[in-house]
Amino acid sequence: MSEIDATFKPFEKNLDFKKTLTYLKTAINKADDGELFLERSQNESFLFDDRKLKQSSFNFKEGFGIRAIKGERTAYSHSSEINNNKIKNAAESISFRNKEFDLINKNSTRLNNDVKRVYSNENPFHNIELSNKLKLLKKIDEYARQTEKNIQQVSVSLNASLQEVFILRAEENILNDIRPMVRIYVSVIIEENGKRESGSSGGGGRFNLSEIINEKNWKKHVDEAIRIAKVNLRAKPAPAGVMDIVLGPGWPGVMLHEAVGHGLEGDFNRKETSAFSNLIGKKVASKNVTVIDDGTIPDRRGSITYDDEGSPSKRNILIEDGILINYMQDRQNARLMNTLSTGNGRRQSFAHPPMPRMTNTFMTSGKDDPKNLLKDLKDGIYAVGFSGGQVDITNGKFVFSCTEAYKVKNGTILYPVKGATLIGDGPGAMKKIQGIGNDLSLDPGIGNCGKAGQWVPVGVGQPTVYISGLTIGGRNF
């Protein structure tokens, strides 16, 4: 048995490798590129809310998608049944209906199958009985209520999934990636003196479920959720106006992800609809700003060994010392922009074609002491938590809501504020960065990113950052 046949072994009952390869070559015979993407996935989830198990599910699905690319156009066909007949029909349905193109490059270089996996191959579900999982959820609920007497509601969600991916290319190269994922999330509502506020905390990544359900880990998330709710109970309405802001490390990197990261994806720049279009080699941020997208960090939520086109995941420098170096590319946009794939071709599932997407996107550490950055804040906001936001890719303009923020005067934190929103534009905000802390931190592993109706897991991160002159939406005093 050849190495390729061995890799294809999980589907040998339903598929004949040689026939499958023939069908793929038929589908992309008149195209520039393409692939067959096969997927098997399973997902288990629980929601324990208000002292009851409100939802539980276990799902298994499998399917395939065949893609052919010609220039800027994509033909895609998929099915939730994996067998030779379905693949043959899908391949025959792909057509561009115009002049023929040359066969895909027969001399295409074979990919390196020895890329080191960036996460464990273990089944994330672990050997834990269902009854014990339910007992755990109840135990978490009880711990929260014992810790804080004023709790009105506790909600705990627990998720585990395993995605197996097989990618076949016309050069007879097949790649296999096994992607575990786990996540725990705790939220609470506390009432004091007739006022109610919420707080939440969670974490996860590409590892075994046993790692996030150990007592030390889940207690940390319960305690953090309670702390945030208590902070919000003391919060005053946020002031409004243009002022300086210090962003905390870790999760606030979601603003970088949205306001800058999406603008650096190849498709937006090929179509020149991004605020960063045609700026390679130009200054787009303050001097010490370096932004990286890295899908090779072990166990992180956005990490992948191969992207969903079969390209190896990479550590890509996007902005270096304020200069735009590179965009994130899939194979199609890279070819059209006369460059190479950066390993960022990602898709939600077999039912979706890939597109340029982020993996783990973050700003690297600077040299400043985070305490000194806060001391330098004369009159502004210190923001350490964010919820949702909106971004216009064409100009980078954003609006983000803070879930935990503080009013600061002369370097001293005065009180927490509620209802603060950050308003600005990505390119402008990047040039207003005055200081970068030496405390780079990545998010706890809870992020998902939406684009064109597709959702994929991602990671974000940054050190403490001082930005001058951002607009804060709130209430004028």
Single-letter amino acid, residue 123: N
**Predicted pLDDT at 122:** 61
pLDDT digits 0-9 by tens, 464-476: 999 999 999 877 5
pLDDT digits 0-9 by tens, 146-161: 999 999 999 999 999 9
* Residue given tokens 């106006």 in the structure block: 241
Q: How many Cα atoms sit within 13 Å of 306 on the Cβ side?
A: 23
- Residue 413 located in a structural domain: yes
Examine the domain organization and report whether 206 and 337 are in the same domain. no
Examine the domain organization and report whether 406 and 431 are in the same domain. yes
- Residue 16 located in a structural domain: no
**Predicted pLDDT at 385:** 93
Residue among 108, 102, 106 nearest 32 (CA): 102
Q: What are phi and psi of 9, to 5 degrees?
A: -55, -40
**Predicted pLDDT at 105:** 34
- Residue 195 DSSP symbol: E
Examine the domain organization and report whether 321 and 181 are in the same domain. no
Examine the domain organization and report whether 368 and 291 are in the same domain. yes
Q: Percent of the chain at pLDDT above 90?
A: 79
Boundary residue ending a domain (185, 202, 235)? 235
- Residue 277 located in a structural domain: yes
Calculate the CA dihedral of residues 207, 208, 209, 211 and round it to 10 degrees: -80
Instruction: Give 226-285 as a DSSP string.
Output: HHHHHHHHT-EEPP-EEEEEEEPSSTTHHHHIIIIIGGGBHHHHHTT-STTTT-TTSB-S
- Residue 119 located in a structural domain: no
Tokens coding 29: 């015979």
Examine the domain organization and report whether 277 and 141 are in the same domain. no
Mean per-residue pLDDT of the chain: 90
Instruction: Give the length of the chain.
Output: 477
Average the pLDDT over 324-345 and give the result: 97
pLDDT digits 0-9 by tens, 24-61: 998 998 899 999 999 999 999 999 999 999 999 999 99
CATH at residue 230? 3.30.160
pTM of the predicted protein model: 0.92
pLDDT digits 0-9 by tens, 417-463: 999 999 999 999 999 999 999 999 999 999 999 999 999 999 999 99
pLDDT digits 0-9 by tens, 72-94: 999 999 999 999 999 999 999 98
Report whether pLDDT(100) > 60.
Answer: no
> Where residue 396 falls among pLDDT bands split at 50, 70, 90?
confident
Could you tell me the CA-to-CA distances from 446 to 32, 116, 157, 461 in Å, in that order? 37, 24, 12, 12
pLDDT digits 0-9 by tens, 200-225: 999 999 988 888 889 999 999 999 99
> Where residue 108 falls among pLDDT bands split at 50, 70, 90?
very low
Examine the domain organization and report whether 140 and 255 are in the same domain. no
Residue among 400, 417, 269, 278 nearest 344 (CA): 269
**Predicted pLDDT at 34:** 95
Boundary residue ending a domain (235, 250, 283)? 235
Examine the domain organization and report whether 280 and 196 are in the same domain. no
β-bridge pairing 465-473 and 433-436: antiparallel
**Number of folded domains that form the chain:** 2
Examine the domain organization and report whether 148 and 269 are in the same domain. no
pLDDT digits 0-9 by tens, 296-323: 999 999 999 999 999 999 999 999 999 9
Q: Coil, strand, or helix at residue 43?
A: strand
Domain that holds residue 377: 241-473
- Residue 372 DSSP symbol: H
Burial of 251 (0-12, 13-18, 19+ CB in 10 A): buried
